[in-house]
């Protein structure tokens, strides 16, 4: 068999088209052909497999180890959802398939997933309508705050402030600022929840919304939530619920019933679609009736004959925030997960997420001071302040956990707690894993007293030990591996 590129790559078979099969016009002119072979590495399949398998072993993932990263819900994503997302009819769907006629039949299933998912999320959160378009939690916040701005604009309200408690997730004030608002900080009281007196002082007719992370970053549910929503609504402000960590209240209560007007969810936290490495994610936004007309395009609409289509022309929409169907396969995985768990399963998810966090809190609070000494929700915040007296910081403990095969918890956050260690075990971990984590944390405390140098040297089991973090951030060199 004569190969067309034979001359350009002596001894190497880049392509296997017999010359006779290639139309004349496609044969490259001699002058364009390479004079030397491509300088590509030449390795056997086995070498290649070993290379990538070894690289993948350097990865830290929920599939290999415990990952108690607070405020991030790194729970196990059932492989079942991956199988569903791999189904050819979904995975190969082209976003430009026509919706009407012919192609309409091809997209109906996908549109039905979106339609049903909106209804499920409304039922779970108590909202009246949902958009599935935002691609992440913070993107959902930006969308939600933009909806709030559109609502006030339509009412000719000139409101320029958003109130954000100091225990909110860091993205909340950032999103509100990007949407054009000025942020007013509301302090927490000694119980770790919003200081009602401060809220009353700061609420007035210039406030567009109160944006709350609930449970807050101390892992606490706002016990005064009824009073807060009532105060805000009296002043004409809307209530925003950061529901990224809905795990904590899943199946137990609905933000819509408590008086919240806008909510975002993180499907990549609560609804078990993969999370990490910056995506992919999905941050659907739910709203009450008064805000429905502003939802971003496209909207899934049902015709009288029961068929579905995407409407790109609602009159008062805030416009595009994403293209086509949003992050469709992420939404699909979450949809499959919700249907798999069902009513009972979702309730149990919430219950076990909270139980596991409280188990860790109860077993560690004698040595790591809890941020607030009461029951927590889906995560607990401990402090290494006692260990700091011996010169051991939250940072050293986090590094030591790596040597135990455990991903470090979130540290130094929330900012209002000294030497914070924020632990979110999630509902998918067994009691054995939680006990192992507790044992490692107690061990770290003993080392702090007996052999602090061992903690200072951690991690010792990783390809690279302790970095100069500032240098690493400013002068990143990943090639060291
Ligand atoms: C993770 C998280 C966010 C941001 O979500 P991203 O998808 O990372 O943008 C917002 N709020 C809370 C409470 C979170 O935990």
CA 283 to ligand 1: nearest atom: 7
| Any ligand 1 atom below 6 A from CB of 138 | yes
Cα–Cα distance measured from residue 165 to residue 455, given in angstroms and rounded to the nearest whole number: 35
244 alpha carbon to ligand 1 midpoint, in Å?
A: 6
Cα–Cα distance measured from residue 149 to residue 130, given in angstroms and rounded to the nearest whole number: 17
Average pLDDT over residues 56-60: 86
Cα–Cα distance measured from residue 382 to residue 420, given in angstroms and rounded to the nearest whole number: 6
Strand partners, 180: none
Indicate the pLDDT class of residue 112, thresholds 50, 70 and 90. very high
Question: Is pTM, for the whole model, over 0.85?
Answer: yes
245 alpha carbon to ligand 1 midpoint, in Å?
A: 8
Identify which of 68, 141, 145, 242 to mutate to test ligand 1's pocket (most ligand atoms within 8 A of the CB): 242
Cα–Cα distance measured from residue 409 to residue 22, given in angstroms and rounded to the nearest whole number: 59
Which pLDDT does position 463 carry in this prediction?
A: 85
| Any ligand 1 atom below 6 A from CB of 216 | no
Average pLDDT over residues 372-391: 95
CA 281 to ligand 1: nearest atom: 7
| Cβ contact 2:27 at 8 Å | no
406 alpha carbon to ligand 1 midpoint, in Å?
A: 22
Q: Is the peptide bond before 280 cis (omega within 30 degrees of 0)?
A: yes
- The residue whose C-alpha atom lies closest to atom 8 belonging to ligand 1 is 137
CA 168 to ligand 1: nearest atom: 13
Cα–Cα distance measured from residue 157 to residue 153, given in angstroms and rounded to the nearest whole number: 6
CA 266 to ligand 1: nearest atom: 7
- The residue whose C-alpha atom lies closest to atom 12 belonging to ligand 1 is 244
Q: Is 10's pLDDT higher than 70?
A: no
| Cβ contact 297:320 at 8 Å | yes
The continuous run of DSSP H or E covering 470 comes out as: helix 469-474
How are beta strands 207-213 and 238-243 bridged, if at all?
Answer: parallel
Which pLDDT does position 324 carry in this prediction?
A: 85
Residue 40's φ and ψ, nearest 5 degrees, are -100, 150
Cα–Cα distance measured from residue 248 to residue 250, given in angstroms and rounded to the nearest whole number: 6
Q: Is 1's pLDDT higher than 60?
A: no
- The residue whose C-alpha atom lies closest to atom 5 belonging to ligand 1 is 137
CA 213 to ligand 1: nearest atom: 13
pLDDT for 116-147, tens place per residue? 999 999 999 999 999 999 999 999 999 999 99
| Any ligand 1 atom below 6 A from CB of 73 | no
Nearest to 301 by CA among 293, 309, 312, 291: 309
Q: Is 276's pLDDT higher than 70?
A: no
Q: Is 285's pLDDT higher than 80?
A: yes
Q: Which domains does the chain have, with CATH numbers?
A: 3-56 (no CATH), 82-339 (3.40.640.10), 352-470 (3.90.1150.10)
Cα–Cα distance measured from residue 481 to residue 478, given in angstroms and rounded to the nearest whole number: 7
Cα–Cα distance measured from residue 237 to residue 148, given in angstroms and rounded to the nearest whole number: 9
Residue 344, token pair as written in the block: 């009972």
Identify which of 216, 266, 334 to mutate to test ligand 1's pocket (most ligand atoms within 8 A of the CB): 266
| Any ligand 1 atom below 6 A from CB of 219 | no
How are beta strands 207-213 and 262-265 bridged, if at all?
Answer: unpaired
Average pLDDT over residues 326-343: 95
215 alpha carbon to ligand 1 midpoint, in Å?
A: 13
- The residue whose C-alpha atom lies closest to atom 2 belonging to ligand 1 is 244
| Any ligand 1 atom below 6 A from CB of 281 | yes
213 alpha carbon to ligand 1 midpoint, in Å?
A: 10
141 alpha carbon to ligand 1 midpoint, in Å?
A: 9
Identify which of 70, 138, 167, 174 to mutate to test ligand 1's pocket (most ligand atoms within 8 A of the CB): 138
Indicate the pLDDT class of residue 435, thresholds 50, 70 and 90. very high
Q: Report the range out of 15-24, 40-49, 344-353 with the highest average pLDDT.
A: 344-353
Cα–Cα distance measured from residue 183 to residue 174, given in angstroms and rounded to the nearest whole number: 9
Least-confidence region, from 179-188, 322-331, 366-375, 427-436 = 322-331
450 alpha carbon to ligand 1 midpoint, in Å?
A: 38
218 alpha carbon to ligand 1 midpoint, in Å?
A: 15
Residue 470 Cα distances to 26, 348, 391, 467, 476, angstroms: 54, 42, 21, 8, 10
How are beta strands 262-265 and 285-287 bridged, if at all?
Answer: antiparallel
| Cβ contact 319:149 at 8 Å | no
283 alpha carbon to ligand 1 midpoint, in Å?
A: 9
| Any ligand 1 atom below 6 A from CB of 245 | yes
Place of tokens 């502003």: 294
Higher pLDDT, 414 or 11: 414
Q: Is 7's pLDDT higher than 80?
A: no
Indicate the pLDDT class of residue 67, thresholds 50, 70 and 90. very high
Average pLDDT over residues 310-328: 91
294 alpha carbon to ligand 1 midpoint, in Å?
A: 23
Which residues, in sequence order, are CB contacts of 326 under 8 Å at separation 6+? 114, 131, 132, 133, 134, 135, 282
| Cβ contact 444:400 at 8 Å | yes
| Any ligand 1 atom below 6 A from CB of 265 | no
Which pLDDT does position 154 carry in this prediction?
A: 97
| Cβ contact 199:231 at 8 Å | yes
| Cβ contact 351:222 at 8 Å | no
Q: How many CB atoms lie within 10 A of CB 180?
A: 12
Strand partners, 320: 297
Q: Is 440's pLDDT higher than 90?
A: yes
- The residue whose C-alpha atom lies closest to atom 10 belonging to ligand 1 is 137
Residues 213-226, buried b or exposed e (16+ Cβ, 10 A)?
bbbbbbbbbbebbe
């Amino acid at each position: 068999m004569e190969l067309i590129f034979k001359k350009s790559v002596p001894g190497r078979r880049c392509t296997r088209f017999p010359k006779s099969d290639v139309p004349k016009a496609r044969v490259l002119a001699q002058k364009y052909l390479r004079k030397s072979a491509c300088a590509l590495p030449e390795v056997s399949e086995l070498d290649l497999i070993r290379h990538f398998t070894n690289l993948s072993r350097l990865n830290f993932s929920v599939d290999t180890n415990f990952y108690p990263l607070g405020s991030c819900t790194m729970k196990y994503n059932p492989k079942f959802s991956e199988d569903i997302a791999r189904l050819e009819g979904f995975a190969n769907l082209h976003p430009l398939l026509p919706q009407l006629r012919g192609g309409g039949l091809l997209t109906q299933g996908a549109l039905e997933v979106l339609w049903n998912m909106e209804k499920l999320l409304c039922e779970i959160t108590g909202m009246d309508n949902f958009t599935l378009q935002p691609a992440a939690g913070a993107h959902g916040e930006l969308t939600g705050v933009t909806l709030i701005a559109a609502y006030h604009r339509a009412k000719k309200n000139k409101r320029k402030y958003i109130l954000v408690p100091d225990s909110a997730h860091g993205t909340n004030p950032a999103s509100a600022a990007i949407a054009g608002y000025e942020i007013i900080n509301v302090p927490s009281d000694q119980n770790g929840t919003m200081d009602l007196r401060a809220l009353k002082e700061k609420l007035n007719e210039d406030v567009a919304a109160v944006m709350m992370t609930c449970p807050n970053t101390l892992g606490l549910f706002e016990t005064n939530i009824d009073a807060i929503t009532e105060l805000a609504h009296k002043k004409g402000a809307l209530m925003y619920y950061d529901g990224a960590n809905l795990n904590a209240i899943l199946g137990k209560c609905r933000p819509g019933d408590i008086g919240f007007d806008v909510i975002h969810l993180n499907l990549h936290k609560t609804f078990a679609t993969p999370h990490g490495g910056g995506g992919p994610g999905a941050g659907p936004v739910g709203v009450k009736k008064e805000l429905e007309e502003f939802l971003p395009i496209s909207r899934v609409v049902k015709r009288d004959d029961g068929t579905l289509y995407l409407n790109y022309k609602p009159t008062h929409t805030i416009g595009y925030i994403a293209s086509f169907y949003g992050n469709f396969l992420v939404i699909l995985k979450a949809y499959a997960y919700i249907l798999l768990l069902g009513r009972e399963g979702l309730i149990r998810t919430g219950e076990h997420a909270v139980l596991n966090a409280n188990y860790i809190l109860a077993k560690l609070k004698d040595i790591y001071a809890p941020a607030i000494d009461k029951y927590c929700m889906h995560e607990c915040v401990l402090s290494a302040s006692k260990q700091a007296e011996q010169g051991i910081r939250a940072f050293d403990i986090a590094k030591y956990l790596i040597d135990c095969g455990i991903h470090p918890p979130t540290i130094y956050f929330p900012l209002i707690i000294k030497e914070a260690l924020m632990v979110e075990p999630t509902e998918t971990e067994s009691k054995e894993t939680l006990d192992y984590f507790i044992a490692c944390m107690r061990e770290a405390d003993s080392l702090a007293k007996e052999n602090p140098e061992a903690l200072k040297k951690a991690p010792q089991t990783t390809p690279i030990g302790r970095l100069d973090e500032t240098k690493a951030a400013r002068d990143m060199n990943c090639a060291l591996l």
